[in-house]
Amino acid sequence: MDDFEQYVSEGDKAERISCICCGHFPHTAVYEGLERCDKCGHIRAVLDWAPEKFHELYTRGYFKGGEYEDYEEEGLALRYNFMKRLADLAKRHPEGGDLWEIGCAYGFFLEAAQTHFNAAGCDIAADAVESGVAARGVKAVYGDYLKMEKGGPFDVICLWDTVEHMARPDLYLEKAFSELIPGGTLALSTGDIGSRWARVRGRHWRLIHPPTHVHYFTQHSMGQLLARLGFEEVRFSYPPFWRNVNTTLVKLAQKHRVFSLIRPLVARTPLGRINYPLNLFDLMTVYARKK
């Protein structure tokens, strides 16, 4: 990090730093409230927030009626996604081992992961962690991973749909690197703003919503960041993502009135609970190894 040009603004404003992926400083405004690194194309939200302020976003309202219509009700669709990821990780670590999940929310992945790994995790959403521990018996703790004492070493550290929410994902991944065993796996998923669908949608791409999404990676910028931190054998894949009909209609209703009329009708029927796979090839799953 030494050669990174950084400065801290006055008051309680967050650090304004050079690109977390490549270290370049000049950025150009792109869409409202976002700026793109002129060198590697990484996009970030322009937010003058103290990092602590991000914690206030992830209350019960975020998971119920906020970004998620009802995260717990969506559990089955989420489980399908997590089973695929667990199968990938079990292939990489057939003997199992110690797994740590950063951003475990309600513990759906931990619940699946504990069948193969000694799995535990953390989240800054207190309600979600409490519910995960009570309802699913997972080993989850409330807290900010960055502020926790050095743990591990772990065979696997994963962050599912989490890095985009962080003010400084580079610092979390740097710590994760230090806590992995040699040969350990970093696993994460996030949107790909360089994907064809994201480029077609432009500023209307469904994943653009600061302040909960702060960082918008491309395959290139993610590769730069992981290489800078010392990760090797970085693999990208674009598996389909399971979704729930009710949740899809809620999102569509936010943008198109016709769906707000259809939604209550569907919600009362079993149709609303149907889960289906969708692949717009704009969600990347990334596996990297610490040599």
Give me the long-range contacts of 3-12 (CB less than 8 A, separation at least 24): 9/48, 12/50
**Can the peptide bond before residue 210 be classed as cis, meaning omega within 30 degrees of 0?**
no
Question: Does the footprint of Zn ion cover residue 36 (CB under 5 A)?
Answer: no
**Span of 18-26, 57-65, 68-76, 192-200 interacting with Zn ion by CB under 5 A:** 18-26
Question: Does the footprint of Zn ion cover residue 226 (CB under 5 A)?
Answer: no
Distance from C-alpha of 115 to C-alpha of 123, rounded to nearest angstrom: 21
Question: Does the footprint of Zn ion cover residue 42 (CB under 5 A)?
Answer: yes
Applying CB under 5 A, the site for Zn ion has a residue count of 8
Question: Does the footprint of Zn ion cover residue 43 (CB under 5 A)?
Answer: no
Q: Give the containing element (helix H, strand E) for 243.
A: strand 241-244
In this complex, which beta carbon is closest to Zn ion, that of residue 21 or of residue 180? 21
Length reported for the chain: 291
Question: Does the footprint of Zn ion cover residue 40 (CB under 5 A)?
Answer: yes
Q: Which of 19, 122, 138, 180 binds Zn ion (CB under 5 A)?
A: 19
Distance from C-alpha of 71 to C-alpha of 82, rounded to nearest angstrom: 14
Question: Does the footprint of Zn ion cover residue 120 (CB under 5 A)?
Answer: no
> Measured from the CB of residue 22, what is the shortest distance to Zn ion in angstroms?
3
> Measured from the CB of residue 4, what is the shortest distance to Zn ion in angstroms?
11
What DSSP line would sit under 196-235, residue for residue?
Answer: HHHHHHGGG-TT--TTT--EE--HHHHHHHHHHHT-EEEE
Distance from C-alpha of 272 to C-alpha of 244, rounded to nearest angstrom: 7
Q: Which of 14, 21, 250, 284 binds Zn ion (CB under 5 A)?
A: 21
Q: Report the interface residues with Zn ion, using CB under 5 A.
A: 19, 21-22, 24, 37, 39-40, 42
